Structure 1
């Protein structure tokens, strides 16, 4: 994917509304755009599968099907074995799609009989998905789902045109069933739904082609979100001063690690010191202290009793005043110790990161009407979909149905900066939405969120504003995981493995 052109993400409506105006500005007809789209897919096909000789193209009745017919015409002219199957009545084709169909007929192209469908599936070297485009909003009909399922069941590479059929272009959710593509070639502007949530299981490798009008389109439409990857680290992470000392790199306090959960605060603090926090302190439950001190000698560790939390001035409150930034939640639990610690820390006017059990406490306090703890513009919260569901009082399925909307709702209710974790993590500061394009499935293991907290907290301690610290932290964390899996593979990736590659990720 050409990220120099495609970091800006758009809704399907923006692309639909802006492409004709962009084409007019560029002096290009809409049918020329369709021809360019078909050519872009064909060129990508040649690059990916140069030895393929038998191609199956499945077309719908909209413009996506027209793109498919352009592809089929080019492939047939190259004397490849092309079979085209039309889902829906070809008599319903109109406009540019009808023109593309007629061009297919001029090269003696035929619509294959559905009696040949199963044979064509078995013989195909590559399948081209041109069934539905970005206009799909309702559930895929059961009769079409049958063909999608059959395509997904065979071991044959699939290239999706613009979007895998069955995906919602704005949310990335599956509308009943969807094509599992190996590659997706998208046009004009990258649709925001291709980069997060369920889409990450269906898009495969994403390729972008602006069709020669992306500059004009960008001048017409303001992006709905911005994609960020490891290049963000290079562009935005402040450089170290040659004369820097530990005091310049900030003071961070991490609180958590209740009974039986010492490992989580250990992961958090370890990530913080690996990301350059100048001085890091940690308070934990008394039974968790020894393991933290042994594992992280660089961290100033102490234990915290419930009785001490009710004192107005003690070593804990003094350490809070000392800190430039706070992290609380990893391994917090849900007992009196956790709730009282949460309330003390929440009342501090300092940049803070709240995760894990801290989010469950926040949800409880919110629904109990304790409004003093709900809104906080100095806070970053980092929920996974299940935690987000508790914070909003909905189901996890509802969160995943539209992650963009859920992230905005979280900000409206709780303020600050929202980091909705998952495939294609979203970061929203109330002004701009960001989507992390880095990361991999190996990160779906325990402790990853605690490492992320430590990364973000270290950046906050350095004085980086919370909105920037959130997106930098997410990318550093994901890039560190990618560096590790590039060498060792995704299976078996541990949170502590990511801690070990954080230094490399930040260079």
Structure 2
């Protein structure tokens, strides 16, 4: 399989980086107000492409440049024949600089303006949110909070300009309250906080408009992260050699399935087989052998009563997946210890992560992938789940620094942190909120590492394939009732583009 490059992926930035890109663009000869007009024009185009039949619009404008974008968009809407309701959270005469010029432009175009008050009646078919931009740091309060609550309660489609007001641009956390947009049009540099944490519930469709600014030309402003894209699949999964054989496709060993917890290890084993591993072995409790043979006879199942019986198996494989259904009792601890003593790459998931945090808190390896959900991440970091979720990018990077290797922080907008940087997965859906999804991911990761050898690129691909397979399954039959066992067949299609 070919090596992967980030050159085709969209870079993601923090808010301060985008402000610096904006400053340098203006410094390079583009007038700041002209750049604001360009942004508003792009937002208007985004509006028109999504709601071409709309005859009226309500535009909420804040006090800064984000509000300035809203004022200019209101003028464009008026010039296009729409009925425009413009609502300002600050008296127009108190606005400054480009925001003041933008408000004047709208007034000169004949757009009326109402100052915000709690009993205001919204008249537009579509609402434009230009209240708060990417500079928001503290929790939203006062009239801005009440305005956002009114917008969300109006039951009308919403276009947010640059970022849904109330959403933190660097973390994707909601700062008290945030606009629930149907579409967010964002400018110059895409923001990491639009793609993880709470963001997927608030952004709607993300329409990125660079405004002719080539962000990557500024080499001293490196992206904070990269957005994974399904275009990677055709690059990664090229046709196999006609002389391929199973010995060249890698051997995955899944270790898990304590007494009473066999399903997780079986899901991981089958996922590894469907993702193209040449051989898959399973080390599990004796009571699960029959079920394994019935479910997937291609998997070589070994009954193990403890660490001694399992100790020789890891060195016979190319990668070990340990943790699914492992349990936290003596059996699981012994199995994990035998895996940790092996000199092959590991994928550690589920109970394996809890045992790591409890019994091996100082262990660090460069040849493993850890796949925590927020609760497991909190245990690995010794903090609260709220701490993890309040800044998921920082948590993922802290995990990678502390434990080494590659870390996949699961959840909405899964994050992959490794030596090569931070990746964000924009795919996946709420149907994945069911048992066994993480087990399927761990099996997919094992298969890809066994075939590729490169654990970081395999982590990117495994996260991507897992989420896209869930999206295909949901598109076929709906989100509710989506099972982890549904993913393997869709994943197989994806790796054979």
* Structure 1 residue 113 displacement after superposition: 4.7
CA contact (8 A) 1:22 1:220 kept: no
Question: For residues 4 and 212 of structure 1, do their structure 2 counterparts lie closer, same or farther at Cα, with a shift above 3 Å needed?
Answer: farther
Alignment of 1:101-250 (within 5 A): 101-114=103-116, 118-120=120-122, 123-214=123-214, 218-219=218-219, 221-237=221-237, 239-250=239-250
- What secondary structure sits across from 1:343 in the alignment? helix
Q: Match of 1:326?
A: 320
Partner secondary structure for residue 198 of structure 2: helix
Alignment of 1:447-486 (within 5 A): 447-486=436-475
**Does the 8 Å CA contact 1:230/1:438 hold for their aligned counterparts?**
no
Is the 1:6–1:190 Cα contact (8 Å) retained in structure 2? no
Greater helix share, 1 or 2?
Answer: 1
User: What is the TM-score of this pair, normalised by structure 1?
Assistant: 0.94
> Aligned-pair RMSD on alpha carbons?
1.8
1:408 touches 1:430 (CA, 8 Å); kept in 2? no
5+ long unaligned stretches in structure 1: none
Kept after mapping to 1: 8 A contact 2:57/2:85:
yes
Cα separation, 2, equivalents of 1:481 and 1:110: 47
Q: 2:87 aligns with which of 81, 85, 88?
A: 85
Residue equivalent to 2:50: 48
- 1:23 CA drift (Å): 3.8
Q: Which residue of 1 aligns with 2:263?
A: 263
Q: Tell me how far 1:22 sits from its aligned partner.
A: 2.5
Alignment partners' CA distance in 1, 2:452 and 2:8: 31
TM-score (norm 2): 0.95
The answer to whether residue 61 in structure 2 is matched with residue 67 in structure 1 is no
Deviation at 1:304, TM superposition (A): 0.6
Whether the 8 Å CA contact 2:369–2:405 is kept in 1: the answer is yes
In 2: Cα distance, 1:115 partner to 1:24 partner: 38
**Whole-Å Cα distance in 1 between the matches of residues 312 and 415 of structure 2?**
35
- 2:3 alignment partner in structure 1: none
Choose from 301, 322, 338 the match for 1:344.
Answer: 338
Deviation at 1:117, TM superposition (A): 5.3
Give the aligned partner of residue 489 of structure 1: 478
Cα offsets for 1:85-136 (capped at 9, x unmatched): 111333332111111011112122221254695432xx32100000000000
Which whole-Å deviations, capped at 9, do the CAs of 1:19-49 have from their partners, x for residues lacking one?
Answer: 1213443x32111110011101111111111
**Residues 483 and 505, structure 1, Cα contact 8 Å, conserved in 2:** no
Residue in 2 that maps onto 1:303: 303
Does the residue aligned with 2:170 lie in a helix, a strand or coil?
coil
1:357 matched to 2:351: yes
Quote the residue 2:311 is aligned against: 317
Shift in Å at residue 5 of structure 1?
8.6
Which shows bigger deviation, 232-241 or 385-394?
232-241
Partners of 1:429 and 1:215 lie apart in 2 by 23
Deviation of 1:285 after TM superposition, in Å, equals 1.0
> How far did 1:498 drift?
0.8
Counterpart of 1:419 in structure 2 is 408
Residue in structure 2 matched with residue 501 of structure 1 by the alignment: 490
Closer/same/farther in 2, CA of residues 153 and 5 from structure 1, 3 Å limit: farther
Cα distance in structure 2, aligned partners of 1:101 and 1:444: 45
Distance 1:43 1:482 in 2: 28
The structure-2 alpha-carbon separation of the partners of 1:117 and 1:243, relative to structure 1 and needing over 3 Å to count, comes to farther
User: How many Å separate the matches in 1 of 2:18 and 2:337?
Assistant: 46
Q: Is the 8 A contact 2:315 2:344 kept in 1?
A: no
Q: Residue deviations 1:287-315, cap 9 Å, x none?
A: 22221121110000011112xx24xxx5x
Q: Which secondary structure does the structure 2 equivalent of 1:289 belong to? A: helix
Contact kept? 1:15, 1:189, Cα under 8 Å: yes
Paired residues, number = 491
SS at match of 2:172: coil
Aligned to 1:381: 370
